[in-house]
Every structure is written in C-alpha cells, then in structure tokens.
Amino acid sequence: MNIQVKNYSKQPIKRYMPGLDGLRALSVLAVIAYHLKLKWAEGGLLGVGIFFVISGYLITDQIIMGWKQKGRFRLLEFWIGRVRRLLPAMFTMLICVALWLLFVDTNRLISLKGEFISSFFYVNNWWLIIHQVSYFESFGPPSPIGHLWSLAIEEQFYLIWPIILTIGLKHIVYKRKLLLWMVGATIASVLAMALIYVPGDDPSRVYYGTDTRAFALLVGAVLAVIWPSWRLKEKENVSAEANRFLDMIGLIGICTLFIMIFTSNKFDESLYRGGFLYLSLVTAVVIAVLAHPASRLGKVMGCKPLRWIGVRSYSLYIWHFPIIILSNPDVNMDGSDYTRILLQLIATFILASLSFKYIEEPLRRGKKHRSNDLQLNRDCLSRSRIKPSVPVVLILLLLVFTYWFESLNQTDTIKSVSADHQNIQKDEFIQKEPIQPDSGELLIQSNRITAIGDSVILDAAPFLKELLPGIIIDGKVGRQMRQAEELTNQLEDTGKLGEQVIIELGTNGYFHKKTLISLLNHLSDKKVILVNTRVPKEWQDSVNELISEAAHMFDNVSVVDWHAASVDKHSYFSQDGVHLSKEGAKYFASLLVDAVKNEKQ
C-alpha cells in the first residue's frame, strides 16, 4: 500500500541517537525494579509511559522522514518490519511459558488461554478490560504474561497511526494544521482518561485502554513533527550557550522523571488527573534534548552500559516478567529476598541476551547489507539466520531457572513451617481456649456492636459471636472500602448499626483517603475501630498508612494493628497468606474484643 505525492524536498539523512537508548535503559530498569516490588521503585510502572513517548517519537519521525525521502510511505513494508522486529521474541517467550505451565501447572495454563491468544494478536489490553481483569485488585497467582497489555497498545498504534499520518501528510498542506489535529487527538485522549476515571473505583479500564493511554504516544508524535531528528543542527552550528541550556533542561527533565518514579505509585489519583500527561511532556522534553546532536547529555546517556541495556530493552521487557512471576513463591509474607532477586536479574539478562542475538536480530536484519543499517553503530552481531535450536535452548534455560527457583521455594517453605512450629510452642495464646467475656456489661452491650468487613471478618465471625454474643457481623467476600458508607446507611435504616462500629476492609484493594474520611465523617457519632490489613499484595502498606493517618484525624477512631500483631505468625493464615486458620481467627477475634473493652473503659 503506497500513498504518493509529487513534490518533496531534499532527502533527509537518518541517524542513530544513542541517548534515546540510554533513556530506554532507565525506563526498562524502572519497570523491572517495580515488578521486583522494590520499595524505592513503586512508581516504576511509569517506565511504560516513557516507552510510549519514545515509540511515538521514533515511529512518527521515521514516517515523516520516509515521506520526505520518497514522497510516499510504504505501509506494508513498515508493518512487515514491525512484525519481524516484535513478534518472534514474544512468540518464543509465549511458547516457553506455555511449555513450562504445561509440565508444571496445566490448570493455570488452561485458565490463561484467553490471555495467550489475545497477546498473540496484540489485543491483550482489551481482553483484560472486557473480562474485567484488574491491574490493581488481583488475587491468586499473577499471570506470567500480564505485562503484554502495553505491547498491545503499541502494536495497535503501529497499525493505525501510519495510515492516519500518511493520509494527513497527503491531504493537509500546512504542517501547522496537521499539528493542530494531532494536538486535538492528544487532548481527546487525555480527557478520556480524566472523564472515565472514577476516584475510588478500580482504574484498570483507564490504565489498560488504548484510547486513554494513546496521548503518551501522540505526545511523542507531536514532538517528531516539531523536532524531527533529521533536521537538528550539528554541534558546530550551535552556540555554547544554547548547548549548555539544552543540557540543563535535559538534566532537569531526567531528575524529574526519577523523582516521579521514587515518589509515585499506581494508586495515586493524580496520575489519572494529569499525572500521566505531565510524565509524557517531561519525557518529550528529555527526548528533544537527547535527540539533538549537540547535546553532551545525549552522549552521557548513550554510554556503553546504558546503550547495551537500551538496545535490548524490548528483550528485557519481554522476559523479565515471566521469570519473576514463575520464580516467586505463590505467597510471600516475608518481604524481599535479595538472593532471589539477584538470580532473577541474572536469568532475565541471560535469556534476553540470547533472545536478542539469536532470534530478534537475525530475523529483523534479514539479508540487508550492514553498511545500510544504522544498527551497526550499536553492536557487531552475527548476520546468520536464526538457528532452529535456539528456541529449544531458551525453553530449557527457562525450565532450569524455574526449577532452581522452585527448589528455593520448597526450601523456604520447609524453613517457614519449622519456624511456625517453634512459634506455636512458644506462643502461650495458641495453647489457651478462646477468651471468654469477663464483663457482664460487655454481654449486655454487645448487641450494640456492628462489625463490617470482608472475608477475613467472616473467618473470625464464629469466635466473635462466642466472645461478644449479640454482635452484628456483616461480612462479604471481595468487599471494598468504597462500599462501606452505603452499607452503613443501609444498616442504620434497619436499626442494625451499633454505637461501636468495627471496620475491617482493605484486604481486597487500595482505596483513596477521601473515601475513608467520608466514611468516618458519616460515623462521627459512633465509636469506630479500624482494623488494618495483612495481605501479600502491593497495596498493603498504602492501605495501612491511610488507616493510620485517618485515625489520627478523628477522636472517636482507634486502630487494631493486625499487621503488627501477625508478624511471623504464618500458622495464623491459610496458604494464600490472607485468610485465617482456626488459630489465626481466634487471635484476630481476641484483638477485636480487647479493642472493644478499651473503648468501653
């Protein structure tokens, strides 16, 4: 499919921009750190947004340059190039993961059938939206291919954007008018995210959506129109003052990106109300600096180690997530295991390097002569065709790594069980019978106590009813904090809301501070006991911080610190690390009884 135009200017020259590979390196390292659940990188998911802007810039720059060179853009040739560049590595990874699950966990493989098919056709993000798969509130083993939603967005952009842009280049004479249309599309995407996002609700729809994330790619595209790489002046044509200004702006931009990564997390409401746009604009500024041949910062960012990682950023992104997910224990209640993290990083870099050298590069480069390929400036790679044995080697390596990690998991489990038995022998409480109420007043008043919660409160319900006869317990599996205020209204209307209200919520996902504040304002005439959470998910600490902050704002609110009380008490939990065993339910109930007693004194 060719779209032609008669008049075109002198042919521009394509050049390699090593600084952008350095930016890619920082982005993929941030994403890997985020998926390793490192505390300092809770905003590492922003690395995906940085990738989007880079992709939008480079693809648009390539299309416009091709148009200027030949007065047309070969869409079919472009799409074939994208397929050769992206599909082989992803397809190999999918085969490896599928084979591993086939031998280790067939049921899990069957449950992921839809994700595998949608990933292969690059519609995984919409499959996740349609099936309401949450990025924020998920239980059970995570999907080892759950990171492919972002590649689906990029590939959809690669399919649609070249058609739109080439039509625009043909029919819109003035660049300014084309630019206005692009800015308009960007604003529409930004507004879509802001309008569809509902504070307090699960934001997975706006996080996964092509329509709500397209603005990052379009910001890069707008930059390519304003700041095409092939028109930037060489160093000798730029004054020393302008050079310093470029480097200063770029350095401020990179520092800003780091600050956002260190201080943000995926639960920040501000991200969906302009935060992601701000990230995209800062990234565009950084790209503009790094793309300029006069930038010294571009040379620093293009240093050999960062360039090596950046060139392989796609391979690292493809492989790191399945390695992390398949090598992590199903439930991790003990925090980060740095030995495991080191092994995961080693495995990721080995598999990514092999994939890049023997799968991606041979298929992407084909029979083109090296002198015509700018990748020469990056690496001296073999031009041999892909060897049939390479995918087999990668599969075997993945099996070896995962078997190794599985052995570590079993060793950790044995140690944990042994430690639990020791704790049980030392813990006097577990040897006792359930606590009996020692206050007649408590028995009389207990019918004025209401406990609202999720499945955890349901686990403790039999013991709470034994210790506090007459207590009203309203628990529901999967309940969220955002549902609590409406529930309290219903209980109040039916006369079931007591003078003391126990709130045990936060197990099933993050909630916003104003949601909890609104609930506590509604219960300002009650004695409220908030119970914080222990759940081996990334929202645990954020939820507990919110509960602690809110409790300090209200005189009628106290906190039961279940998280601290259950430290190293593995025997209190079922295999998922959340729901309570009989011992844990007894202990949990006793803590609530003590809190009720304290409130009555």
pLDDT tens, residue by residue, 55-96: 999 999 999 998 887 777 888 989 998 988 899 999 999 999
**pLDDT tops 80 at residue 14:** no
Fold of the CATH domain 429-600: Rossmann fold (3.40.50)
**pLDDT tops 80 at residue 493:** yes
Residue 405 is predicted with a pLDDT of 56
> Exposed, middle or buried: residue 490 (CB in 10 Å: 0-12, 13-18, 19+)?
exposed
**pLDDT tops 90 at residue 137:** no
- How many other C-beta atoms are found inside a 10 Å radius of the C-beta of residue 12? 17
Residue 231 is predicted with a pLDDT of 84
pLDDT digits (tens, 9 = 90+) for 358-368: 998 887 776 54
- Beta-carbon contacts of 167 under 8 Å, excluding residues fewer than 6 positions away, are 3
* Domain boundaries, given as residue ranges, for the chain: 2-363+370-410, 429-600
Which helix (H) or strand (E) element contains residue 249? helix 240-263
**pLDDT tops 60 at residue 237:** yes
599, 369, 396: which is closest to 502 by C-alpha? Answer: 599
Q: What is the DSSP string of 336-386?
A: --HHHHHHHHHHHHHHHHHHIIIIIHHHHHTT--GGG-GGGGT-----PPP
Please state, in angstroms and rounded to a whole number, the distance separating the CA atoms of residues 308 and 311: 5
- Beta-carbon contacts of 430 under 8 Å, excluding residues fewer than 6 positions away, are 424, 571, 583, 586, 587
pLDDT digits (tens, 9 = 90+) for 375-433: 444 444 344 444 545 555 665 665 566 555 555 555 444 444 334 433 433 333 333 34
Residues classed as catalytic: 455, 576, 579
Please state, in angstroms and rounded to a whole number, the distance separating the CA atoms of residues 118 and 124: 5
- What number is the average pLDDT over the span 190-217? 93
- How many other C-beta atoms are found inside a 10 Å radius of the C-beta of residue 207? 24
How many helices (H) and strands (E) in the chain? 26, 7
Which helix (H) or strand (E) element contains residue 449? strand 449-453
Write the single-letter amino acid at 586: K
Decide: 265 and 542 in contact? Cβ < 8 Å: yes
Please state, in angstroms and rounded to a whole number, the distance separating the CA atoms of residues 507 and 201: 15
pTM of the model: 0.81
- What number is the average pLDDT over the span 576-586? 90
Decide: 139 and 576 in contact? Cβ < 8 Å: yes
